[in-house]
Amino acid sequence: MAQLSRDDEAFGALMTLEQAGERVAALVAPVGGTETVPLAAADGRVLADTVLAPLDLPPFANSAVDGYAVHSGDLAPSGTTRLPLGGRVAAGADAAGFTARGLAIRVFTGAPMPPGADTVFMQEDVVLEDGAVLLPAGLAPGANARPAGEDIARGALAAAAGQRLRPQDLALLSALGVTEVVVRRRPRVAIFSTGDELTEPGQPLAPAAIYDANRALLRAMVTRAGAEVVDLGILRDERAGLAQRLAEAAASCDLVLTSGGVSTGEEDHVKAALEQVGELAFWRIGIKPGRPVALGRIGTVPFIGLPGNPVAVFVTFAFVARVLIARLAGTAPVAPLSLPVRLGFAYRKKEGRREYVRVSLEPGPDGVQIARKHPQDGAGVLTSLTRTDGLVELEEDMTRIEEGTIVPFLAYALLIG
């Protein structure tokens, strides 16, 4: 990991999300180690070795429809063509004993094309008459036939090293006969919540205490990001104990991730504890919710301290921690696709800060979705995440946004995948 700098950018001016992403890329290297796993267990894993297609897909020319295979040279240039019916080939059958020259061969979807055939008439377009097939004019040569290698040719790139495997990738590899793949080791991510007010769900709730929601949120988001969770519980607001627990976590994990305790209050001890066992570049990222975010390291292990409020945890994980975990995993994070929506409300914000506002969508009369703001803005209001569809992004230079303005919308599903 590169040396952390304690410059004005880190401790003074607010950083943009783009600057934060650049710093992550510069500071964090992918974890080492690979393993071979069955294809059935490879969903979401990062491919370590490039896979080239071991065969053509499809491996042989075949029919795309139920119909009649012919040689296009046998078709009359105009009018109806009459060809004798020369046999029948079903999917999975061997067509080697047939010939389509001067004949029409009955075929079914997926059946191999008989030798000499290059075109298939759909069964509903022909007429059968006394052992012959009447074929209409106008069908282009090659219609309804799939050539060998149409999908992917032997030796072509099937899946690239560094990509995170998706269900559709697994389908392609399975169709090519691949049974196992070499993948990168999953990063191990230690997660803590911090705060004397926190209680483990299931335990009695003392006066002025609350149940810990952040670890449940982070466990799920870390897993969806492709990493292995090491849940180390709740850290109390005691500096010496914090420092020891952080050091112990770094000894066995690839990333230490905390929530709470990274602001500037008297009871926010994570920053000071980390400086006892490592070093910290404190980020004040220009976003809302979630400005207090810390990036540092303990030895060579990166550290991220997220805010304490759960909505701020969600937003900062989606835009900062997810980028770092992708880097550790050896892949590039996929930027979430935004869709244009029309604001169904007016809004005012500070200049120089990017804001993410929780909204629900409803159809607009012109086909453009209308974004309705959740009535509660607080970063601790969990129902503002569960009862909305996603976030609208308001850029740094915006201050007064009128109702009806077109802005980008980011669906939650794209921020947690």
pLDDT at 13: 67
Region 138-167: mean pLDDT is: 97
As a dihedral over the C-alpha atoms of residue 220, residue 173, residue 142, residue 81, rounded to 10 degrees, the angle is -90
User: Helix H segments across 83-184?
Assistant: 167-175
**Sequence letter at residue 283:** W
The CATH number that domain 339-415 falls under is 2.40.340.10
User: Which segment of 174-178, 271-275, 280-284 scores lowest on mean pLDDT?
Assistant: 280-284
Mean pLDDT for the stretch of residues 370-386 = 95
What does the pLDDT average to over 128-141? 96
Task: Determine the pLDDT at residue 283.
Answer: 66
Most confident of 8-12, 163-167, 203-207: 163-167
Residues of the chain with CATH 2.170.190.11: 62-146
Q: What pLDDT is stored for residue 417 in this prediction? A: 76
| pLDDT digits 0-9 by tens, 226-261 | 999 999 999 887 777 888 899 999 999 999 999 986
- At 9, the pLDDT band (50, 70, 90 cuts) reads very low
Region for 270 from its dihedrals, namely left if φ exceeds 0, alpha if ψ lies in -120 to 50, beta otherwise:
alpha
pLDDT at site 336: 86
pLDDT at residue 1 greater than cutoff 80: no
Where in the chain is CATH 3.40.980.10?
A: 8-32+186-329
For residue 6, the model assigns a pLDDT of: 45
Minimal CA–CA distance to 301: which of 331, 257, 263, 261?
A: 257
What average pLDDT score do residues 82-103 get? 95
Cα–Cα distance, 177 to 98 (Å, whole number): 28
- In 90-245, which ranges are E strands? 104-107, 119-122, 127-129, 132-135, 145-146, 157-159, 180-184, 188-194, 198-199, 210-211, 228-235
Looking at residue 275, what is its pLDDT? 81
Query: What's the confidence (pLDDT) of residue 20?
Result: 83
The neighbour count for residue 213, using CB atoms within 10 Å, is 17
What average pLDDT does the structure give for the chain?
Answer: 91
Q: What percent of the chain lies above the pLDDT cut of 70?
A: 94
Whether pLDDT at 266 is above 80: no
pLDDT tens-place string over residues 59-89 = 999 999 999 999 999 999 899 999 999 999 9
Q: What CATH number belongs to 8-32+186-329?
A: 3.40.980.10
Q: pTM of the full predicted structure?
A: 0.88
What tens digit of pLDDT does each residue of 311-343 get? 999 999 999 999 999 999 999 888 889 999 999
Burial class, 93, CB count within 10 angstroms (exposed 0-12 / middle 13-18 / buried 19+): middle
260 in Cβ contact with 304 (< 8 Å): no
pLDDT of res. 194: 86
What is the rounded distance in angstroms from the CA atom of residue 138 to the CA atom of residue 99?
A: 23
Q: Does domain 62-146 have CATH number 2.170.190.11?
A: yes
Q: Boundaries of CATH 2.40.340.10 in the chain?
A: 339-415
